[in-house]
Structure 1
Amino acid sequence: MFEYLVAGLLTFTTPPSSPTVPTVSPARQQPAQSEIDELRRRLDVLAQELERLRSGEPEEELTEAQRRSLGVAPSAAAIYRKKQGVSFAGYGEIVYQKLDDTLENGAASPASSRFDFLRAVLYAGYRFNDRFLFNSEIEFEHGGEEVGVEFAYVDYRVRNDLTLRGGLLLLPMGLINEFHEPTVYFGTGRPETERRIVPSTWRENGAGVLGSRGPVSYRAYVVTGLNARGFSANGIRGGRQSGKEAIAENFAFVGRADLAPLDGVLVGGSLYAGASGQNQVGEVDAGTTIGEVHGQAQMRGLDVRALYARASIDDAAALNGALKLTGAAGIGSVMEGGYAQAGYNVLNRRSTTIALTPYYRFERVNTHAEVPAGFTADPAKRITWQTLGLELRPVTGVVVKTDYQWVTNGARTGRNQFNIALGYAF
């Protein structure tokens, strides 16, 4: 392999042999002045067109607090740095997973390793003027097998501290859903709490307001509700409508508030509430409430984050009946989870461009924290993950992660796994 790489480099770096120069008549050796003027004119036109495509010079970088108050990840904020015109940005990640062939209880259970180009994403935005802008995220998943729109919205800035937003929106919940670029969070995979209780990536059609006042920022939307027909014993993730011909019989409210008392410090919470029946499960409303609190501190190379989330479903027994679910296969009336994690950049004092960060995360999730009368809690739904890993950022926008996960559950059928991931964002 090394020889192939060297040969390839030599192919591209070795200058070609001098070609034979054809004889040109003296009359053609010196171009006419008119030809030179025409070439200059064309170059000027090309330069103007390139400048038009650039559509304005970028503004000053957003501060972390400004970006978070807008609910956008670093690369997703590209359009907010433009004075006018088009912006492009993106991110992607590829993940290798090696699963143990033995379960927690010692039973043999062969499992296939997986290597997945998980996603490649393009952000495209357009700023119309100093008040209106459009922003979008188009995602290609699993090597291009699936294509979808993660968000697509229009912002209208009423004033510096108040913006109206409408379209396909990321719900402002947790530490991951709005900020899910691989260069933003620790781990080859997202925390399970923010997949099973807060079902990231979660987006719905809707509209709302966002703004900030001093150290406090907020976002509040009305969106299409979940569809309870997709709920299961594993959680509510299957109930997301994601803006695809969404049934709009039930709407929901989602709101978030954050306090940033110091640079690098953030504490806050969010709440989602709304019926999820959508006239798809008989007369059952399936009122769904999800709440979460979170905190984050990043300073002097140390990064500490924690989150707790809880979801409750009204009429869970009736919903299980409508879906013909019985026993341990029933949907829980209460689901909860949380995690705490910490990492430290050991190169913090030596480099401002390269980071090497060992990290650890402890996490628990139980989608059968409570079950309705007549149903049985499945101990396999009470899961604990311990993740120990190392993250290398050789340059801003590129990250290589590797970690090992110890997975246990109440039924002793957990399976450990080893992971490697490569991510980028620009």
Structure 2
Amino acid sequence: MRKLTLLFSILLVSLVSAQTLQDSITFNPQQQLNAAQRILSGNYGKAVTVGAYGEVTYNQPEALNGELDIQRLVLLFGYKFNEKTQFVTEVEFEHVQEVFIEQAFVNYNVAPNVNLRGGLMLVPFGIINEFHEPTTFNGVERPSVDNVIVPTTWREIGFGVSGKLNNLSLGYQAYVFNGFQSTSFDGEGGVNGVLKGSNGLRSGRQKAIQSTIDSPTLSMKLDYYGISGLRLGLSGYFGDTQAEDDVEEIDGANIGISMIGLDARYAYQRFTARGQYVHGSLSGTEDYNNLTGKDLGSELQGWYLEAAYNLLPQEKTQRLFAFARYEQYDTHAGTDGALARNDAYNRNDLTTGLSYHLAPGVVLKGDYQFRDNAVSGGEVANRLNFGIGVWF
């Protein structure tokens, strides 16, 4: 409790003495910045910058008890050592009781539009993994594709380069990271499998918690912004999973991963739209499942399309977006060996609702989700959601 009190005291003093000047939250995808980018670009001569984002949610599945939750509160800190060197970190409190470091990296500006980065960083894949502040997306919950397939929030330790080629209207990122964990010893001479069919790679995120590494992975992303109002992304992630010493020598302890993602965001006056497609190919899953008894699929696939329209006049500072999003995602898009496809893992969601931006950085959300899967006669509870999101 003392540590928490001290942390908030430091935050309060920093806010009074060195608060970052805030610009309006923009809905133009070509001009959008995520939390780390705003810290890096928003020092305005100050050495220390601070901010935060967070969300309070209410989820009500049909015929079940509802859940109220402070899903997350993320404290943002940046320090500018000189004109070329900066440090960014995000301290995340999840569900009031868990504390994680979401990012902690040094950014060194080698030349105009060329930055070297090292530390704990977001893997640049898709839209939401980098732009997950609650005022930047519609819906109380993040898209399921970005939860089950990608999987957000996906961050690991690594180093690499980022920047822009303005003559080509192209942004680029390329990093070497440690990878997903796949297996570990169970303490009794057996092997535990970390990855499974229901959520694919999600359980293998190491999150910089004494991360195991035996082979690096490669992550790359290109963003094209040469057409007014449009932003296109191409993501790639390639490498093997990681296993502890001795376990890695066992056949089936590791799998290979190749993931490709395409994404698009568009805005014109009061209309916005976005879409995403992700395909992952996993090699060695038959041996992995035989070793661990898990049901990991050999292919993961998901996509969604979303459209939104601002119901308020364009000149108003407030925004009221009515939106609809359809997504389909399957963690058993392919299976190897004797493993049969599980139709319960082939899912689709239709989410429709409202996002009311009271002011730049404050949003009230409400939506209803029609959820289903490919099981004949299977029942998946639809869900009503409400939320409050802030970002400053």
Residues 1:249 and 1:384: Cα distance change in structure 2 (over 3 Å): same
**Structure 2 residue 174 is the aligned partner of structure 1 residue 220:** yes
Residue 255 of structure 2 is matched in structure 1 by: 286
Choose which of 93, 96, 99 in structure 1 pairs with 2:55. Answer: 93
Q: Take 1:350 and 1:67, find their aligned partners in 2: how far apart are those partners?
A: 18
Counterparts in 2 of 1:88-167, with a 5 A limit? 88-101=50-63, 111-142=64-95, 144-167=96-119
Residue 285 of structure 2 is matched in structure 1 by: 316
How far apart are residue 67 of structure 1 and its match?
A: 6.5
Residue type matched to 2:282 in 1? I
What is the DSSP-based 3-state SS (H/G/I as helix, E as strand, rest coil) of the residue aligned with 1:402?
A: strand
Q: Take 1:66 and 1:267, find their aligned partners in 2: how far apart are those partners?
A: 9
Q: Would you say the 8 A contact 2:30–2:225 is kept in 1? A: no
What is the DSSP-based 3-state SS (H/G/I as helix, E as strand, rest coil) of the residue aligned with 2:289?
A: helix
Residue 370 of structure 1 is matched in structure 2 by: 334
Residues 1:240 and 1:316: Cα distance change in structure 2 (over 3 Å): same
What is the DSSP-based 3-state SS (H/G/I as helix, E as strand, rest coil) of the residue aligned with 2:203?
A: helix
Q: Would you say the 8 A contact 2:25–2:361 is kept in 1? A: no
Residues 1:244 and 1:66: Cα distance change in structure 2 (over 3 Å): farther
Q: Would you say the 8 A contact 1:250–1:278 is kept in 2? A: no
Q: Take 2:315 and 2:197, find their aligned partners in 1: how far apart are those partners?
A: 48
Q: Take 1:238 and 1:362, find their aligned partners in 2: how far apart are those partners?
A: 25
How far apart are residue 262 of structure 1 and its match?
A: 2.8
What percent of counterpart residues are identical?
31
Choose which of 214, 222, 228 in structure 2 pairs with 1:249. Answer: 214
Task: Give the gaps of 5 or more residues in structure 2.
Answer: 1-12, 184-193
**Structure 2 residue 387 is the aligned partner of structure 1 residue 421:** yes
| Structure 1 runs, 4 residues or longer, greater than 2 Å off | 50-68, 277-285
What is the DSSP-based 3-state SS (H/G/I as helix, E as strand, rest coil) of the residue aligned with 1:191?
A: coil
**Structure 2 residue 38 is the aligned partner of structure 1 residue 77:** yes
Structure 1 length as normaliser, TM-score?
Answer: 0.80
**Structure 2 residue 127 is the aligned partner of structure 1 residue 175:** yes
Residue type matched to 1:193 in 2? V
Q: Would you say the 8 A contact 1:67–1:77 is kept in 2? A: no
Counterparts in 2 of 1:260-275, with a 5 A limit? 260-275=225-240
How far apart are residue 62 of structure 1 and its match?
A: 11
How far apart are residue 277 of structure 1 and its match?
A: 4.0
Q: Would you say the 8 A contact 2:213–2:242 is kept in 1? A: no
Q: Would you say the 8 A contact 2:19–2:50 is kept in 1? A: no
Q: Would you say the 8 A contact 1:53–1:86 is kept in 2? A: no
Residue type matched to 1:73 in 2? N
Choose which of 331, 337, 344 in structure 2 pairs with 1:380. Answer: 344
Q: Take 2:117 and 2:285, find their aligned partners in 1: how far apart are those partners?
A: 33
Choose which of 348, 364, 368 in structure 2 pairs with 1:400. Answer: 364
Residue 321 of structure 2 is matched in structure 1 by: 357
**Structure 2 residue 267 is the aligned partner of structure 1 residue 303:** no
Residue type matched to 1:207 in 2? F
What is the DSSP-based 3-state SS (H/G/I as helix, E as strand, rest coil) of the residue aligned with 2:227?
A: coil
Structure 2 length as normaliser, TM-score?
Answer: 0.87
Q: Take 1:84 and 1:349, find their aligned partners in 2: how far apart are those partners?
A: 34
What are the superposed Cα offsets for residues 366-415 of structure 1, whole Å, 9 maximum, x if unpaired? 10011112111111111010001011111111000000000011122211
Task: Give the gaps of 5 or more residues in structure 1.
Answer: 1-49, 102-110
What are the superposed Cα offsets for residues 111-134 of structure 1, whole Å, 9 maximum, x if unpaired? 221111111111001011110000
How far apart are residue 65 of structure 1 and its match?
A: 7.5
Q: Take 1:255 and 1:348, find their aligned partners in 2: how far apart are those partners?
A: 39
Q: Take 1:190 and 1:365, find their aligned partners in 2: how far apart are those partners?
A: 14
Residues 1:350 and 1:276: Cα distance change in structure 2 (over 3 Å): same
What is the DSSP-based 3-state SS (H/G/I as helix, E as strand, rest coil) of the residue aligned with 1:322?
A: helix
Residue type matched to 2:172 in 1? Y
Larger deviation, residues 120-129 vs 55-64: 55-64
Q: Take 1:51 and 1:317, find their aligned partners in 2: how far apart are those partners?
A: 53
Choose which of 189, 192, 215 in structure 1 pairs with 2:144. Answer: 192
Q: Take 2:343 and 2:221, find their aligned partners in 1: how far apart are those partners?
A: 32
Residue type matched to 2:58 in 1? Y
Residue type matched to 1:369 in 2? A
Q: Which has the higher contact order (CA 8 A, sep 6+)?
A: 2
How far apart are residue 196 of structure 1 and its match?
A: 1.1
Q: Take 2:160 and 2:129, find their aligned partners in 1: how far apart are those partners?
A: 17
Q: Take 2:52 and 2:242, find their aligned partners in 1: how far apart are those partners?
A: 36
Higher helix share: 1
Residues 1:67 and 1:276: Cα distance change in structure 2 (over 3 Å): farther
Counterparts in 2 of 1:320-339, with a 5 A limit? 320-325=289-294, 330-339=295-304
Q: Which has the larger radius of gyration?
A: 1
Q: Would you say the 8 A contact 2:14–2:48 is kept in 1? A: no
Choose which of 298, 301, 306 in structure 2 pairs with 1:341. Answer: 306
